[in-house]
């Protein structure tokens, strides 16, 4: 018995990279009502370990939002399972729309949320006259021509450190600071899809969807780049505006 105690590894912190198709889920965060990604992951850990284990995500994604590389950590009870075995066991228990891409053991100093140094989000807009069945739930269908110059000018306007209060939805509680830095914005266009990727140190609630909503309104000629720039320079909470729909948004990766 003392031997067994000595050789049994102590509880370890496991880091997970998770991909999910957000369609049909109520977002990341556990809820009393609703089927969330966190709930599904915790159910999978319960099945494997027999214990209730709390999954800590790098950030909450809203209902319908996708992830190529959400990051999370859990503290596992003592066990000898290799990370690859844990990933395979989790995937065997999870629905196919949620996949653990990688697992690794990390130091107890690592925290998926508090150690995050930034995130990359991609927003996809389908611009075909008819909305493709293959973009359903994965893009925002915008009919009308998006002016390329305006689109790129708006994207550039968000670059750098700004007070994004005018591009945040009120979550019902005050945020410490609404200053955020966007390090890179990339616009990629094909005849069918326009993708805008934002790399920033952090994002306020619905910030990407509000930036995209403002960008699309300007690119459709319903507002101007100057108005978008003014709202950013103003740094004050703005009146209700166009929030681009959740299904176009994907959390690409979390930077540490």
Active-site amino acid positions: 62
Q: Please pick, from the candidates 53, 101, 106, 193, the single residue that binds a copy of itself as defined by CB under 8 A.
A: 101
Q: How far does CA 49 lie from the centroid of its chain?
A: 27
Element (H, E) at 149: helix 148-158
Region at 21 (left for phi over 0; alpha for psi -120 to 50; beta for the rest): beta
User: At its nearest, how many Å lie between a copy of itself and the CB of residue 16?
Assistant: 12
Q: Is 133 in the site for a copy of itself (CB under 8 A)?
A: yes
CA distance 174 to 50: 38
Q: Shortest distance, CB of residue 62 to a copy of itself, whole angstroms?
A: 17
Q: Are 126 and 132 in contact (CB under 8 A)?
A: yes
16 vs 155, which CB is nearer to a copy of itself? 16
Of the two residues 121 and 158, which places its CB atom closer to a copy of itself in the complex? Answer: 121
Q: Kindly state whether residue 136 participates in binding a copy of itself, applying the rule CB under 8 A.
A: yes
At residue 177's C-alpha, the angle toward residues 16 and 246, to 5°, is: 50
- Smallest gap from Cβ 108 to a copy of itself, in A, equals 27
Q: In the set 8, 134, 145, 170, which binds a copy of itself (CB under 8 A)?
A: 134
Query: Interface with a copy of itself includes 140 (CB under 8 A)?
Result: no
Query: Which of 99, 189, 229, 255 lies at the binding interface for a copy of itself (CB under 8 A)?
Result: 99
**Chosen residue from 100, 125, 210, 254 binding a copy of itself by CB under 8 A:** 100
Residue 245: which residues within 8 A CB-CB, separation 6 or more? 64, 140, 209
Write out the two tokens for 12.
Answer: 């370890």
Contact with a copy of itself (CB under 8 A): which of 1, 32, 96, 174? Answer: 96
Nearer to a copy of itself, 68 or 205 (CB): 68
Please give the Cα distance from 71 to 77 (Å, whole number).
20
| Residue range at the interface with a copy of itself (CB under 8 A); choices 99-107, 158-166, 193-201, 233-241 | 99-107
Using CB under 8 A as the binding rule, the residues of this chain from 9 to 38 that contact a copy of itself are 19-21
**Of the residues 1, 32, 130, 174, which one makes contact with a copy of itself according to CB under 8 A:** 130
Assess contact for 27 and 63: CB atoms under 8 A.
Answer: yes
Helix, strand, or coil (residue 128): coil
In the bound state with a copy of itself, the residue whose beta carbon lies nearer, of 153 and 254, is 254
Nearer to a copy of itself, 103 or 155 (CB): 103
Q: Which residues of 131-161 are buried (b: 16+ CB within 10 A; e: fewer)?
A: eeeebebbbbbbeeebeeebbbbbbebbeee
What CA–CA distance (Å, rounded) separates 185 from 209?
14
Residue with tokens 């910030």: 207
Provide the binding-site residues for a copy of itself, judged by CB under 8 A.
19-21, 66, 87, 91, 96-101, 130-134, 136, 138
């Amino acid at each position: 018995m003392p031997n067994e105690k000595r050789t049994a590894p102590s509880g370890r912190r496991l880091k997970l990279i998770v991909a999910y198709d957000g369609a049909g889920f109520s977002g990341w965060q556990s809820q009393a009502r609703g089927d969330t990604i966190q709930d599904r992951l915790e159910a999978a850990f319960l099945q494997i370990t027999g214990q209730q284990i709390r999954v800590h995500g790098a950030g909450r994604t809203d209902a319908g939002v996708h992830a190529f590389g959400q990051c999370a950590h859990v503290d596992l009870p003592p066990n000898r399972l290799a990370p690859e075995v844990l990933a395979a066991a989790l995937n065997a228990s999870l629905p196919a729309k949620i996949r653990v891409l990688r697992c690794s053991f990390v130091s107890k100093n690592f925290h998926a949320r508090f150690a995050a140094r930034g995130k990359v989000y991609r927003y996809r807009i389908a611009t075909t006259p008819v909305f493709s069945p293959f973009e359903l739930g994965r893009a925002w269908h915008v009919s009308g021509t998006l002016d390329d110059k305006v689109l790129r000018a708006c994207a550039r306007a968000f670059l750098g450190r700004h007070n994004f209060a005018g591009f945040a939805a009120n979550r019902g509680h005050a945020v410490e600071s609404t200053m955020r830095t966007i390090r890179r914005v990339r616009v990629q266009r094909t005849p069918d899809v326009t993708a805008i990727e934002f790399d920033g140190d952090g994002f306020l609630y619905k910030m990407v969807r509000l930036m995209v909503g403002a960008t699309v309104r300007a690119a459709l000629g319903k507002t101007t780049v100057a108005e978008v720039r003014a709202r950013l320079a103003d740094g004050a909470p703005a009146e209700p505006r166009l929030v681009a729909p959740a299904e176009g948004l994907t959390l690409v990766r979390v930077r540490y």
